Copies of this chain bind each other. A is one copy, B any other.
Amino acid sequence: MIFRQLFENDSSTYTYLLACEQTGECVLLDPVIDTAERDLQVIQDLGLQLTYTLETHIHADHLTGARKLRALSGSRIAVPKMDEIACADIGVQEGEAFRVGNIELRPLFTPGHTDTHHAYLLDNGMQQVLFSGDALLIEACGRTDFQSGDAHTLYYTINNKFFSLPDETLVYPAHDYEGRQITTIGQEKNRNPRLGQQTTEDEFVAIMDNLNLPYPRKIDFAVPGNRDCGRCPNNVPSEYLGPCDIAEVMPEQKTRVGDQG
Contacts and interface: CB of A to CB of B under 8 A. Distances in A.
Contacts of A182: 170, 182-184, 187
Contacts of A125: 1, 124-126
A153 to B, nearest CB: 27
A181 interface: yes
Interface of A: 1, 3-5, 122, 124-127, 129, 167-168, 170, 178-184, 186-187, 190-191
A181 to B, nearest CB: 4
Contacts of A3: 126-127, 168
A122 B215 CA distance: 44
Contacts of A190: 179, 181
Given A122-B126, A180-B191, A182-B183, 19 more contacts: A1-B126, A5-B167, A5-B184, A5-B186, A124-B125, A124-B126, A125-B125, A125-B126, A126-B126, A167-B181, A170-B170, A178-B191, A179-B187, A179-B191, A180-B187, A181-B184, A181-B186, A182-B182, A182-B187
Most chain B CB inside 10 Å of its own CB: which residue of A122, A178, A187, A190: A187
A182 B167 CA distance: 12
A34 to B, nearest CB: 20
A229 to B, nearest CB: 28
